[in-house]
Amino acid sequence: MLARSETHVTLRDADVAQEAAVTQAPPPPDTKLQRTSRDAAELAAPIAAWLATDLPPGADPVVEIHGGSDANGMSSETLPLDASWTDGGRRRTGRYVARIAPSADDVPVFPAYRLADQYDAMRIVAETTGVPVPQVRWLEPTGDVIGTPFFLMDRLEGRVPQDVLPYNFGDNWLFDATPEQQRRLQDNTVAVVAGLHGIPDAVETFGFLDAGRSGHAGETPLRRNLARTRAWYDFAVPDVGRSPLVEHGLAWLAAHPPVERETVLCWGDSRIGNVLYRDFAPVGVLDWEMAALGPREADLAWMVFAHRVFETITGLLELPGMPHFLRADDVRTTYQQLTGVELADFGWHLLHAAVQWGVVFMRTGARQIHFGEIERPAEVEGLFHHRPLFEQLLGEVGA
């Protein structure tokens, strides 16, 4: 894929961009990464038949898919589609995105896909906050219709900071924006996270997102989330082998847990690459696969760390990058101004992010090997495009 020059993209484009960031950094031009063995053209008829069971009699829905395997995201498959049906004697048309759990045969990133949990999290956020999330419409939780669960949500328009090539490489709308515009995007995105964290009674409202629900041991949400990361790593090992670097990080994190304070709704994959923007303000907060209950610091550290990964790559390539953007101190200060809460133990959460990115690279690398796109590296950490940053963070915490 080449760097995009368009100023407007759809939800599909945001997810395409997200996929490429965590599979290669950067890929060569015109590379298309295979995400699925599923034929998108075969999905229209069963989805239309399923919609007919939910719509009034005589609706006669018709579905048109826009895209194929190259439109799929890092983990869930994401397909844009139009659906039309008859309502009250008139034909209606809606623009949607189908979020589809991947097949187990296609080397999924996560061991389980909680499509119903994502659906409910997005629905509740839309109902209780001003945070812009796509409106969810229909949920098929059984997998009986197309082989795995899926849901439909509204398709939004906006523009997304590109990941192929990463936005800090240059020649794109965010890199070319003024420092003031870049800062406006940064602060507006931190405000979105603050809005999510401000939802009252999160433990009760979003209890279905607690990692303990899946049987992960631990007395607190943070410890349960760390246990889930360990289980995720164990899931990744059989396909690519063990990572001493990840295991070192996991051991240090378990031995040095931070003091836990308030538990909030964490978006999880809180990257600017998962946000649609207009005029440098968010209009669509996307990708809720990693949503969980946890500490505030997790979302902000993930946001900062994702940018630092790209900055590591530009540094290795001797490109100028965007060192002034998404700096930890600036993000923490803005968050404190918005919420009155001072973030703590940021180093612990940055290292947790590095461990999780290591697992992501293990799974996306395993998928590339599975589809014959790359050769198996001599060591698993050859898949880690953030390895220098990972090692730096271990040194910073004295691990």
pLDDT of amino acid 213: 60
The pLDDT assigned to 164 comes to 80
Question: What is the number of other CB atoms lying within 10 angstroms of the CB of residue 341?
Answer: 17
Q: Any idea which of 144-148, 210-214, 269-273, 281-285 has the lowest mean pLDDT?
A: 210-214
What pLDDT, on the 0 to 100 scale, is given for residue 39?
80
What is the mean pLDDT of the segment spanning 191-217?
86
The residue among 74, 23, 4 whose CA lies nearest residue 268 is: 74
Q: How confident is the model at residue 37 (pLDDT cuts 50, 70, 90)?
A: low
Which of 11-20, 241-250, 256-265 has the weakest average pLDDT?
11-20
Return the domain boundaries, the chain.
9-157, 167-396
**pLDDT, the chain, mean:** 88
What integer pLDDT is reported at residue 218 of this predicted model? 60
Length of the chain: 399
In this predicted structure, what is the pLDDT of residue 33?
52
Residue 18 pLDDT > 60: no
The pLDDT, as a whole number, for residue 399 is 84
For residue 93, pLDDT over 80 is answered with yes
Q: Tell me the three state secondary structure of residue 366.
A: helix
pLDDT in tens, 149-177: 999 999 999 999 998 889 999 999 999 99
- Written as six digits, the tokens of 321 are 């990058």
Interatomic CA distance for residues 186 and 325, integer angstroms:
8
Query: Would the pLDDT of 272 be above 90?
Result: yes
Residue 216 confidence (pLDDT): 53
Question: Does the structure show a pLDDT above 50 at 207?
Answer: yes
Q: Which two tokens stand for residue 97?
A: 């995105």
Give the architecture-level CATH label for domain 9-157.
Answer: 2-Layer Sandwich (3.30)
3-state secondary structure 180-228: HHHHHHHHHHHHHHHHHHCCCCHHHHCHHHCHHHHCCCCCCHHHHHHHH
Q: pLDDT at position 309, please?
A: 93
**Distance (Å, whole) CA 317 – CA 321:** 10
Tell me the pLDDT tens digit for each residue of 306-328: 999 999 999 989 999 999 999 99
Q: Are 227 and 220 in contact (CB under 8 A)?
A: no
**pLDDT value of position 9:** 32
The pair of three-digit structure tokens given for residue 25, joined into one six-digit string: 């950094």
Q: Please give the pLDDT value at position 198.
A: 97
How much is the pLDDT for 74? 55
In percent, how much of the chain has pLDDT > 70?
86
- Asked whether the predicted pLDDT for residue 274 surpasses 60, the reply is yes
User: Are 166 and 21 contacting, i.e. CB atoms less than 8 angstroms apart?
Assistant: yes
- The Cα 122–Cα 124 span in angstroms is 6
What proportion of the chain, given as a percentage, has pLDDT over 90?
Answer: 77
State yes or no: pLDDT of 4 exceeds 90: no
pLDDT in tens, 49-66: 999 999 999 999 999 999
396 half-sphere exposure, CB direction, 13 A CA radius: 14
Mean pLDDT of 360-365: 94
Cite the active site residues: 269
Angle at Cα 185 formed by Cα 179 and Cα 190, nearest 5°? 125
Mean pLDDT throughout 339-364?
Answer: 97
Residue 222 has pLDDT above 50, yes or no: yes
Handedness of CA 255, 261, 263, 267 (dihedral sign): negative
3 band by pLDDT with thresholds 50, 70 and 90: very low
Least confident of 14-18, 291-295, 318-322, 341-345: 14-18
Fold type of domain 167-396: Aminoglycoside 3'-phosphotransferase; Chain: A, domain 2 (3.90.1200)
pLDDT level of residue 113 (50, 70, 90 thresholds): confident
Integer CA distances (angstroms), 251 to 176, 199, 310, 365, 394, in order: 41, 32, 26, 23, 11
